[in-house]
Amino acid sequence: ANAINSSSDVVGFSWAFSNRQRAVLWQHGIPGKAIDLGTLGGPSEATAINSSGDIAGWSETSTGATHAFLWRNGTMTDLGTLGGTWSKATGVGTSGDVVGVSTTATGATHAFFWRNGVMTDLTPSAVFSQASGINSSGDVVGTVSPQLIGISTAVIWTIK
């Protein structure tokens, strides 16, 4: 189990489906029954859930790349990357906005914000950053490091 929402629905992963790691939802009031959320082609894991039941996480694609996803109304959507080889979602806001971390085309690891099909790099000039959560007001929390080796700083991005 990785996350819980205000309805006590829980998301995470299970190995019970096809002997592969799969993203699952345990709905409050339905004891012992995990709902398989599917996959983009390989193993998957749910990492966040909002009060509306939107779920974010990551899945390997059929080519073996790891991509962030948004699961909404029974459909898993591949959120892509910031131009690099992988992404992982770490939070989902009340309106279905997703935050997380992705590699860029240059190989840097950056925080992202995804809304309505568009993934935005929150720190294009940083060496390393990651977003770890989003609240109902659209405030995103995470860390930024301006150097390859050094101290990371906690940050808040306000998204409008």
- Residue 152: per-residue pLDDT: 85
36 pairs with which residues across the strands? 24
Task: Considering only residues 70 and 159, tell me which one the structure prediction assigns the higher pLDDT.
Answer: 70
Res. 149 pLDDT band, cuts 50 70 90: low
Residue listed under structure tokens 């996959």: 39
Q: How many CB atoms lie within 10 A of CB 151?
A: 8
User: Taking the CB of residue 48, how many other CB atoms lie within 10 A of it?
Assistant: 25
- Give pLDDT, residue 151: 81
pLDDT digits (tens, 9 = 90+) for 10-68: 999 998 666 789 999 999 877 778 899 999 999 999 999 999 999 999 999 999 999 99
Average pLDDT taken over every residue of the chain: 93
Specify the amino acid at residue 106: T
CB atoms within 10 A of CB 25: 19
Closest CA to 39 of 14, 63, 58: 58
User: Which 8-state DSSP code applies to residue 40?
Assistant: B
Q: Contact at 8 Å (CB) between 95 and 137? A: no
Buried b (16+ CB within 10 A) or exposed e, 105-118: eeebbbbbbbeeee
- Mean pLDDT throughout 66-93? 97
Q: What is the pLDDT of residue 18?
A: 66
What pLDDT was estimated at residue 35? Answer: 92
- Contact, 55 vs 9, CB < 8 A? no
